[in-house]
């Protein structure tokens, strides 16, 4: 009753006919493995992977970070007290050792720091002893991050030991912004599930010996769909012939071979995503996202909301926190970006919710927002 529109029905399963980058690398002779979060189907072995450790339809570890893990592939024999992040890192090292004489590709998607926020117990004293920070003070999350970091170090040590470092490319990134109740994305606005920068801007690290200069940095905006053609080009694997790709290979950017062309990046979310049970500085307290489309072109970013046609225009170079909506002050730029965004929607056939929700109750929505506002005031007094 708080939703003005009927959202577009979604799916949680990747189309069975989809040719993944892993399938393309298989064709090029690579042994492929996925370890950790899969979240796209019941079995990643149907999508180009030879080995699966931990991958199911679940976004988090189905039974938590400690065993027993039930029938989760590759984790049925987990000994008591074993932390799942450590196990996945160990499995990754074993995979590399076993396949060191072959071309291999490893998709290691740690469950950490996905909920449930389950601390690595032996690290708790270290972080419990630290003074609380202004933005980050969640002890369990701190231990989870260190477990990932330690695992990356073990994998790098194994590559060094096996003499594989110079011939291995490492891509390290996150799939979304931080978890709102446990961390803070300042100076960015928003967090996981929003289309403000705090929800979609993440770090991306590349280690490619002899190609990417250590310590170098790029400010070019890139997007997750760029990784498919990038991985295929790095591995000399073919691109799918009958499956158009949305992304652009980042290899020229890595090599510094040419000036990176300015291009528009797009996001589309024709649905509603409930807010966390906290009030924050988002667009509204009831939903992390309402049905919307986003375009970014250079430093400009436009949000289009489908419920009532609202537009939000930000200049990210001057306003990384997306605090000042410039749509009314710069209507020409808003119109230009909206035109490009709507042309893209039409080109790809993006589904747009337009049908009113017959159960929508404006008064109930207003009361719910007011109630959340009272919660914010009480929290501020406690703080």
Q: Is residue 80 part of a domain?
A: yes
Q: Is residue 34 part of a domain?
A: yes
Q: Is residue 128 part of a domain?
A: yes
Q: Is residue 125 part of a domain?
A: yes
Q: Are strands 264-269 and 292-297 parallel, antiparallel or unpaired?
A: antiparallel
Do 53 and 69 touch, CB atoms closer than 8 A? no
- Smallest CA-to-CA distance from 182 within 111, 114, 127, 124 is with 114
Do 34 and 22 touch, CB atoms closer than 8 A? yes
Report the b/e string of 206-216 with b at 16+ CB within 10 A.
Answer: bebeeebeeee
Q: Which two tokens stand for residue 268?
A: 């589309």
Query: What helix, strand, coil percent values describe the chain, rounded to 5?
Result: 30, 15, 55
Q: Is residue 8 part of a domain?
A: no
The CA distance from 151 to 147, in Å, is 6
Q: What is the pLDDT of residue 274?
A: 87
The CA distance from 37 to 56, in Å, is 7
Virtual torsion, Cα 56, 113, 319, 250, nearest 10 deg: -50
In this structure, the answer to whether residues 222 and 279 fall within a common structural domain is no
Q: What is the pLDDT of residue 133?
A: 76
Q: Choose one of 206, 222, 255: the last residue of a domain.
A: 255
In this structure, the answer to whether residues 235 and 271 fall within a common structural domain is no
In this structure, the answer to whether residues 47 and 150 fall within a common structural domain is yes
In this structure, the answer to whether residues 48 and 183 fall within a common structural domain is yes
In this structure, the answer to whether residues 89 and 67 fall within a common structural domain is yes
Q: What is the CATH classification number for the domain harbouring 103?
A: 3.40.720.10
Phi first, then psi, for residue 78 (nearest 5°) are -60, 125
Q: Is residue 11 part of a domain?
A: no
In this structure, the answer to whether residues 277 and 375 fall within a common structural domain is yes
Residue 297, SS3 per DSSP = strand
Q: What is the pLDDT of residue 381?
A: 39
Q: How far is CA 101 from the centre of its chain?
A: 32
The CA distance from 314 to 325, in Å, is 6
Q: Is residue 87 part of a domain?
A: yes
Q: Choose one of 255, 277, 304: the last residue of a domain.
A: 255
In this structure, the answer to whether residues 51 and 186 fall within a common structural domain is yes
In this structure, the answer to whether residues 197 and 113 fall within a common structural domain is yes
The CA distance from 53 to 374, in Å, is 46
Q: What is the CATH classification number for the domain harbouring 324?
A: 3.30.1120.10
Contacts of residue 211, Cβ cutoff 8 Å, sequence gap at least 6: 254, 255
The tally of domains found in the chain comes to 2
Q: What is the pLDDT of residue 294?
A: 98
Strand 300-305's sheet: what is its strand order?
A: 264-269, 292-297, 300-305, 311-315
Supply the range of the domain harboring residue 97: 21-255
Q: Is residue 9 part of a domain?
A: no
In this structure, the answer to whether residues 81 and 213 fall within a common structural domain is yes
Q: How far is CA 145 from the centre of its chain?
A: 16
pLDDT in tens, the chain (383 residues): 899 999 998 889 999 999 999 999 999 999 999 999 999 999 999 999 999 999 999 988 988 999 999 889 999 889 999 999 999 999 999 999 999 999 999 999 999 999 999 999 999 999 999 888 777 789 999 999 999 999 999 999 999 999 999 999 999 999 998 888 888 888 999 889 999 999 999 999 999 999 999 999 999 999 999 999 999 999 999 999 999 999 999 999 999 877 888 899 999 999 999 887 665 556 778 888 999 999 999 999 999 999 999 999 999 999 999 999 999 999 999 999 999 999 999 999 999 999 999 999 999 988 888 877 655 544 433 33
In this structure, the answer to whether residues 44 and 179 fall within a common structural domain is yes
Q: What is the pLDDT of residue 150?
A: 98
In this structure, the answer to whether residues 194 and 327 fall within a common structural domain is no
Q: Which two tokens stand for residue 6?
A: 């009927």
Q: Choose one of 255, 272, 301: the last residue of a domain.
A: 255
Q: Helix 139-161 and helix 84-98: axis angle, to 10°?
A: 10
In this structure, the answer to whether residues 292 and 224 fall within a common structural domain is no
């Amino acid at each position: 009753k708080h939703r003005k529109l009927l959202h577009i029905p979604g799916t949680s399963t990747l189309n069975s006919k989809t040719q993944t980058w892993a399938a393309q690398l298989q064709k090029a002779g690579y042994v492929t493995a996925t370890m950790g979060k899969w979240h796209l189907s019941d079995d990643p072995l149907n999508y180009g992977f030879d080995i699966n450790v931990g991958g199911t339809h679940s976004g988090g570890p189905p039974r938590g970070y400690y065993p027993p893990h039930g029938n989760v592939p590759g984790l049925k024999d987990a000994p008591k007290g074993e932390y799942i992040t450590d196990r996945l890192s160990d499995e990754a090292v074993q995979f590399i050792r076993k396949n060191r004489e072959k071309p291999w590709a490893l998709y290691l998607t740690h469950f950490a720091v996905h909920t449930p926020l389950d601390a690595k117990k032996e690290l708790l004293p270290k972080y419990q002893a630290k003074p609380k920070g202004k933005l980050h003070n969640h002890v369990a999350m701190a231990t989870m991050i260190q477990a990932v970091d330690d695992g990356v170090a073990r994998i790098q040590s194994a590559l060094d030991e096996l003499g594989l470092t110079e011939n291995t490319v490492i891509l390290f990134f996150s799939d979304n912004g931080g978890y709102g109740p446990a961390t803070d994305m300042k100076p960015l606005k928003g967090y996981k599930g929003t289309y403000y920068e705090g929800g979609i801007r993440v770090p991306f690290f590349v280690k490619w010996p002899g190609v990417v200069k250590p310590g170098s940095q790029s400010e070019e905006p890139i997007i997750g769909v760029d990784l498919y053609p990038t991985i295929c080009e790095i591995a000399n694997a073919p691109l799918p012939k009958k499956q158009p790709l949305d992304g652009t290979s980042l290899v020229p950017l890595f090599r510094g071979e040419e000036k990176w062309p300015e291009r528009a990046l797009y996001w589309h979310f024709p649905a509603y995503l409930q807010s966390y049970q906290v009030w924050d500085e988002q667009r509204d307290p009831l939903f992390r996202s309402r049905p919307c489309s986003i375009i970014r072109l250079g430093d400009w970013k436009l949000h289009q909301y489908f419920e009532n046609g609202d537009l939000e225009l930000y200049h990210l170079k001057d306003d990384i926190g997306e605090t000042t909506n410039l749509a009314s002050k710069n209507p020409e730029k808003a119109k230009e970006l909206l035109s490009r965004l709507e042309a893209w929607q039409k080109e790809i056939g993006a589904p747009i919710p337009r049908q009113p929700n017959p159960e929508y109750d404006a008064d109930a929505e207003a009361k719910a927002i007011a109630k959340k506002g009272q919660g914010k005031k009480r929290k501020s007094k406690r703080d």
